[in-house]
Amino acid sequence: MTYAVLETMMVQVIDMTGGEGVMLDPQVLLDTLGVAMATGGEFAEVFVEDRRSTSALLDDSRIEELTSGRDRGAGIRVVVGDTTGFAHTADLSPVGLRAAAGAASAAARSGGSGVRVVALDAVSGPASAVVEILPSDVPKARKVALLDRADDAARSCDGAITQVTARYADSQRRIQIANSDGLLTGDRQIRTLFSVSCVASGDSGLQTGRESVGHTIGFELFDRVDVEDLAGLAAGRALTKLDAVPAPSGQMPVVVGPGGGGVLFHEACGHGLEADLIAKAASVFAGRRGDVVAAPMVSLVDDGTMAGEWGRYAIDDEGRPAQHNVLIRDGVLTDFMWDRLRARREGRESSGNGRRQSYRHLPMVRMTNTYLEAGGDDPAEILAGTEQGVYVAQLGGGQVNTATGDFVFGMTEAYLIEGGRLTAPIRDGNLIGNGPAALLDIDGIAGDFAMGSPGTCGKDGQGVPVGDGTPTLRVAKLTVGGTAA
């Protein structure tokens, strides 16, 4: 069967992308899939993306720039045996799509027979998130005005604040996915972000403080948060650290404040529970489903359905609806996270974790919003019960080697714990631990759950937005990487 035969097939498609219509005509998608499968293959997919973004930057008390961006294109993959061929193009004309489909097909080195006819079946997937105020409907002047307010607020905190950077960013991402299983679906994803970074200057040199807020909602974000409050938090962190002492060095108990610990779990076990790494035995958690991998009060969830959260979406970048996935229940490893390719090999369904940075990238297993469920301990008692250690109020990023389980994460607001009380602020640094050991060393989880700051998770050179959350928790033993004797 040839591409010409496929072209004669027509399908009825219902509009399912929130009233904005499908992005490409279904017949064009069908043609493209036909070219992709023309010489055989098990699976082909067309992923179409159209992203518009706005960002505004204030630095040195000046609005330095307002940037508008537009990216649109399609990524086409063809799977033949164990081989995936992939090509992408910014040319969304039928000619451009056919060329990319041909390239992806050739790349998959299609040898086999078994050409299949494809009929697209529009799926009524979960609805796109409802946004009250579309950022594209908001005048640019209103976006820019937020930056000046943040600058004024941060600088008025204290004369020691010597520099302020504030950034506003929004994006609208529309995606459409059609594949050779007949799936046709789409989503519209809106994100709005605001961040403030401050430098404080004192006798001890320069110190920095940062605060950011980001949600999968529109401009109504600023009805809910005050940029002045964010600026005050950022400035306060920088000012506090002017009096910071060097962080201690060595193994000790570490208490992480509410909303602060998500990065710890993201690195300590989140990446290690991604099925692509499991399949390559490149994770210390490979083969450990059903085992006790954490202290009994630990229940860890990855949930792409959390309304408004930074890692939220209706469908993943393979068209699969987002899910609430329990990874660890009462200390027992219940399941990994899956994308389509890895799930198909195991004869199971994807868990809705197939994501990609853009149409220029292949999807792979990624986290969404990863959080530790609240426990029953009292946060004050966790602190009071810690004789000597470190309290981390805000974490920076982290990194993990999933094969060894060794992970680091940074602290950007932290204090010494002495005699069960917070004492001096400490300077920035990393902590290091081993994932499987750290999960078993958790000996306190409080009930004060909070989500943390919006993050970007990097893997194989692709960045995707993720969220995280934790209540106050204590790890009995982690290595704090400071310089104090």
Partner 1 sequence: MLEIAERIVGWSDPGEQVEAVVVHERETEVRAYEGEVESLTVAESRGVGVRIIRDGRQGFAYAGTLDPDALGEVMREARDNLGFATPDEHCSLAEPDGLAPVGMDLYRDALLDLPIDAKVQMALDLERLTLSADGRISGVESAEYSDSVSSSAVATTTGIRSTSRETGCFLSAYALAESDGETQTGFGFSLGRQPGDLDVEAAAAEAAERSTRMLGAVKPPSGRMTVVFDPWVSAQFLGIVGGTLSGEAVQKGRSMFADRLGDDVASPLLTLIDDPTDPAAFTATETDGEGLATRRNVLLANGRLERFVHNSETARRAGTVSTGSAVRGYSSTPGVGVRAVAVVPGDRSPADLVSGIRDGLLIQGVSGLHSGVNAVSGDFSTGAEGIRIRDGELAEPVREFTIASTIQKMLTDVTAIGDDLQWLPMRAAGVTLVIAELTVSGV
Per CB under 8 A, 251 contacts partner 1: yes
The 3-class secondary structure across the chain, one letter per residue, is: CCHHHHHCCCCCCCCCCCCCCCCCCHHHHHHHHHHHCCCCCCEEEEEEEEEEEEEEEEECCEEEEEEEEEEEEEEEEEEECCEEEEEEECCCCHHHHHHHHHHHHHHCCCCCCCCCCCCCEECCCCCCCCCCCCHHHCCHHHHHHHHHHHHHHHHHHCCCEEEEEEEEEEEEEEEEEEECCCEEEEEEEEEEEEEEEEEEEECCEEEEEEEEEEECCCCCHHHHCCHHHHHHHHHHHHHHHCCCECCCEEEEEEEECCCCCHHHHHHHHHHHHEHHHHHCCCCCCCCCCCCECCCCCCCEEEECCCCCCCCCCCECCCCCECCEEEEEECCEECCCECCHHHHHHCCCCCCCCEECCCCCCCCEECCCEEEECCCCECHHHHHHCCCEEEEEEEEEEEEECCCCCEEEEEEEEEEEEECCEEEEEECCEEEEEEHHHHHHCEEEEECCCEECCCEEEEECCEEEEEEEEECCEEEEEEEEECCCC
Cβ closest to partner 1, residue 288 vs residue 329? 288
Please, which of residues 297-336 interact with partner 1 by CB under 8 A?
Answer: none
Please, which of residues 166-225 interact with partner 1 by CB under 8 A?
Answer: 199, 201, 205-208
Per CB under 8 A, 397 contacts partner 1: yes
Please, which of residues 414-443 interact with partner 1 by CB under 8 A?
Answer: 427-434
Cβ closest to partner 1, residue 308 vs residue 396? 396
Candidate list 4, 25, 130, 280; residue touching partner 1; CB under 8 A: 280
Candidate list 103, 118, 131, 175; residue touching partner 1; CB under 8 A: 103
Please, which of residues 24-43 interact with partner 1 by CB under 8 A?
Answer: none
Per CB under 8 A, 272 contacts partner 1: no
Cβ closest to partner 1, residue 311 vs residue 482? 482
Cβ closest to partner 1, residue 69 vs residue 296? 69
Q: Shortest Cβ distance from residue 277 to partner 1 (Å)?
A: 8
Cβ closest to partner 1, residue 30 vs residue 414? 414
Please, which of residues 131-170 interact with partner 1 by CB under 8 A?
Answer: 140-141, 144, 162-163
Candidate segments 13-21, 79-87, 120-128, 439-447, binder of partner 1 by CB under 8 A: 79-87
Per CB under 8 A, 240 contacts partner 1: no
Candidate list 91, 335, 443, 448; residue touching partner 1; CB under 8 A: 91
Per CB under 8 A, 250 contacts partner 1: yes
Cβ closest to partner 1, residue 99 vs residue 326? 99
Candidate list 13, 40, 71, 240; residue touching partner 1; CB under 8 A: 71
Cβ closest to partner 1, residue 28 vs residue 301? 28
